[in-house]
Structure 1
Amino acid sequence: MTIRLRLAVEIDLPAVGRLHHRSRAAAYAHLVDPSSFAARGPDMLVAYWVERHRWEQDTHRMTLAVDGDELIGFSYIGPSETDGAAELYAIHLDPSRVGSGVGRLLMVDALANLPAYGEPRAVLWVLEGNTVARRFYEKGGWVEDGVRRADELNDQPVTHLRYSHPL
C-alpha cells in the first residue's frame, strides 16, 4: 500500500461523492435507518460535491488520499461559522480502509493546513453516537467543547457535538 495525498480537482468530484456515500452508509448505519442511504444514492452526493466545489473552491481545501489510482479517502477544510475558528468539515474513508492509518494521515494533513485560515483553533462536528469517529478525533488531540446542535441525517433527528483543537 503506497498512499499519496493530493489536492482534489473537479474531475475527482464524482469519485468523492461515491466514496462519501459508501462512507456515510457504513459509519452511520447504526445511527439512522440504513435503508435511508439506499433511498439517497451516490448520485445525490456527487451532485452535492460538484455544486459545493463550484462555490467553495477558492476558500476551501479538499485533500484526497489515493492508493495508486484508487481514491480511498478525503478531507475537507475551510473557514468556519464559529468565531475564531477554521473548520475540519470532513474526513471520509472507504469503509475497507477504516483503521488502516489513512484517516490519521488526512487528519495530520488537515491540522497542518488549517492555520492558513488565520484562526487560533479548529473545530469539527461529529455525530454524538459515532463513537468510532469520536475516539479517532480524541486520539488526535481534539476535545469536545460542550457545544451541541440538533440536526437531521437523511430526514432523521441526530445530535452533533463540537470538538476543538488549538492551532
Structure 2
Amino acid sequence: MEIRYINASDDNMKISGIYEESWKYAYKNIIPQEFLNSIERGRWVSVLDLPSWNTVVCIENGEYIGTSSFSKSRFREYPSHGEIISIYMRPEYMGKGYGTKLLEYVIKELSKHGYSKVLLWVLDDNHLAKEFYKRNGFIETDNYMNDNIGGKQLREVMFIYNCN
C-alpha cells in the first residue's frame, strides 16, 4: 500500500470515483437516496486541486482505494487547527485497516505543518464514522453545525484530535 500526495499524472476521475462510491455506500439511509443516485460521475474533480487544500491518495496494487483532503482550518473560530476536510475509502476496502493508515498519514502531515490540534466534521447519524474516529483518538465535541444535503436537514458534529 502506498499513500502519497496527488500529482499531475493522477487520474482525477478515478479519485473522484472514490468519493462517489463512498458517499453512496456510507450515507445510505442518512442522505436521501434520490440525492445519492443523482451524484454525477466526476463531481469532486474540481476540488482535488484547490490551492489551499492538500490531497493524498491511498493506492493498493496500482488501484486508487482511498483519498483524503486536508488544510488549515476553514473555520475562523479555529485558526490554529488543522482540518481533515474529507477522508473516503472505496467500500470494499472499508474495515480492513486502510482507513486507519490513511488517517494516521494525514494527521502526521498536519502535525508537520505545525498543527497541534486537528478538527473534522461528521454527520451525526453516521455512527460507523463516529466510532472509527473515536477508536483513532478523536474526541467528539459539543460543537455542531446544521447542513442541508439533498433537501434533508442534517447535523454535523465536530471531532478534535490532539497531536501532542
Q: TM-score, normalised by structure 1?
A: 0.88
2 CA distance for matches of 1:5 and 1:39?
A: 30
Is the 1:78–1:117 Cα contact (8 Å) retained in structure 2?
no
Deviation (angstroms), 1:121: 0.6
Establish whether residue 5 from structure 1 lines up as the match of residue 41 from structure 2.
no
Aligned-CA RMSD value: 1.5
Structure 2: which amino acid aligns with 1:40?
I
Is the 1:64–1:73 Cα contact (8 Å) retained in structure 2?
yes
Establish whether residue 129 from structure 1 lines up as the match of residue 122 from structure 2.
no
Which structure is higher in helix share?
1
2 CA distance for matches of 1:12 and 1:154?
A: 28
Establish whether residue 157 from structure 1 lines up as the match of residue 156 from structure 2.
no
Question: Corresponding residue for 1:60?
Answer: 53
Within 5 A, what are the aligned runs for 1:2-151?
3-10=1-8, 11-45=10-44, 49=45, 51-56=46-51, 59-80=52-73, 81=75, 82-151=78-147
Q: TM-score, normalised by structure 2?
A: 0.90
Aligned positions, number: 159
Unaligned 5+ residue runs, structure 2?
none
Structure 2: which amino acid aligns with 1:53?
L
CA offsets 1:145-164 (integer angstroms, 9 cap, x no match):
21000012233221100000
Deviation (angstroms), 1:35: 2.4
Q: What percentage of aligned pairs have identical amino acids?
A: 19
2 CA distance for matches of 1:60 and 1:33?
A: 28
Unaligned 5+ residue runs, structure 1?
none
Structure 1: which amino acid aligns with 2:14?
A
